[in-house]
Amino acid sequence: MCVTAVESRPAGVLGASQGPVHRPFGARVKAFVALTKPRIIELLLITTVPVMFLAQQGVPDLKLVLLTCVGGYLSAGGANALNMYIDRDIDALMDRTSQRPLVTGMVGPRECLAFGITLAVVSTLLFGLTVNWLSAWLSLGALLFYVVVYTMLLKRRTSQNIVWGGIAGCMPVLIGWSAVTDSLSWAPLILFLVIFFWTPPHYWPLSMKVKDDYARVGVPMLPVIASNKVVARQIVLYSWVMVAVSLLLTPLGYTGWFYTAVALASGGWWLWEAHALQNRARAEETGVKLKEMRLFHWSITYVSLLFVAIAVDPFLR
C-alpha cells in the first residue's frame, strides 16, 4: 500500500485567485447538477432498468421504473457530491477536475456537503417508502461504500482502489432486480460480477491517459505505479473473466439466444481491443500511438449493448 500526503487547498482556489466569483442563479443551478456527475449516472441507469425487464421477464411497472430511476439518480448524485467535497483539495490540482464547482467556487464546501447529505437521505426514504426497503438499504450501502470505503479509505492509499471501490458501481443491478422482486437471486449476482470485472479495464485505460494528473496529487492509480505492460496485462486478465462471467446467465436459464449472441459478439470485440492494447504496450508505444482510449470508449458501448440485450431478450424467448 502507498500512503501519500497531498497539499490541501480550499475549494474555489482557482476562482479565488482571480477575485470574487460571480455566481448567477442559472450557473449555480448548473453547478449543483454538475455535482451529481450526470454522465456517470447515465451509465448507472443503463445497468439498472434492463435488469428490471429481466426480473419481470417482460415490461415492469413503469411507475416503479420511474421511481427506481429517480431514487437511483438522487442516491448516486449524493455520493458524487460527497466525493467532490472530500476530494476538493486534489481536484484543484488536477487538470481534468479543475473546473468542478467546488474548485471554481461556484458552490461552497458547506453547500456541497449539505447537498450531498440531503440527496442521500431523500433517496433512501424515496426508495423505502415507494419501492421497497431492500432497495433502499442496497442504495444506501452503495452510497456509503463509494464515499467511505473508496473515496476516504482506498483512493489515496492503494493501486487496487478502483478494483474494490468499483463495488459501489455494481450495486445498481442488485437494486434494479430487488425493486421488481423485493429479493435477490443468482441473475443479479452474476451481473454484479460482470460490472465488478468490467470496472478496472474500463477505468484503467483512462487512468493511463491522465496518469500524470494522478501522479501529481499522489493518487496511486495502477498506471501511476506500474508500467503500461503491467496495466495492459491486468486489463486483459480482467477482460477474459468478465466475458466468461457474462455468459453464465444462459446456461442457468435466465437468458436465451439473443443475449448470448450479443454477449459473444460484443465480448469478442472487447477481447480483440484489450489484446490490441496489450500488443501496443508490449511494443512500448506511448502517447497517441498507445490508443488506450479506444478501449475506454468501447467499454461504454459494450456495457450498453450487453444491458440492452438483457432488456430485449425476454421478448424473444
Tens of each residue's pLDDT in the chain, 317 residues: 333 333 333 334 444 444 456 788 899 999 999 999 998 888 888 999 999 999 999 999 999 999 999 999 999 999 999 999 999 999 999 998 999 999 999 999 999 999 999 999 999 999 999 999 999 999 999 999 999 999 999 999 999 999 999 999 999 999 999 999 999 999 999 999 999 999 999 999 999 999 999 999 999 999 999 999 999 999 999 999 999 999 999 999 999 999 999 999 999 999 999 999 999 999 999 889 999 999 999 999 999 999 999 999 999 98
Please report, for the chain, the start and end positions of each structural domain, with discontinuous segments joined by +.
Answer: 29-180, 185-316
HSE-CB for 180 with a 13 A CA cutoff:
24
Which backbone phi and psi does 165 adopt, to 5 degrees?
-65, -25
- In CATH, the number for domain 29-180 is 1.10.357.140
Instruction: Report, at the CATH architecture level, how domain 185-316 is classified.
Output: Up-down Bundle (1.20)
- pTM for the predicted model, two decimal places: 0.91
Angstrom distance (rounded) from CA 236 to CA 271? 7
Which pLDDT does position 267 carry in this prediction? 98
- Report CA torsion sign: 187, 192, 193, 197: positive
CA 239 to chain centre: 17
The CA–CA distances, whole Å, from 280 to 173, 221, 295 equal 34, 20, 12
Cell of 27: 450557473
Max CA-CA distance within the chain?
Answer: 63
Which pLDDT does position 164 carry in this prediction? 94
Angstrom distance (rounded) from CA 215 to CA 276? 26
Q: Are 179 and 64 in contact (CB under 8 A)?
A: yes
Give the Cβ contact number of residue 261 at 10 Å. Answer: 12
Helix (H, G, I), strand (E, B) or coil at 317: coil
Helix (H, G, I), strand (E, B) or coil at 252: coil
Please calculate the CA angle 121-122-124 and round it to the nearest 5 degrees: 65
Which pLDDT does position 21 carry in this prediction? 64
The CA–CA distances, whole Å, from 208 to 214, 228, 296, 308 equal 10, 8, 10, 29
- The secondary structure of 45-80, three-state, reads HHHHHHHHHHHHCCCCCHHHHHHHHHHHHHHHHHHH
Angstrom distance (rounded) from CA 84 to CA 53? 33
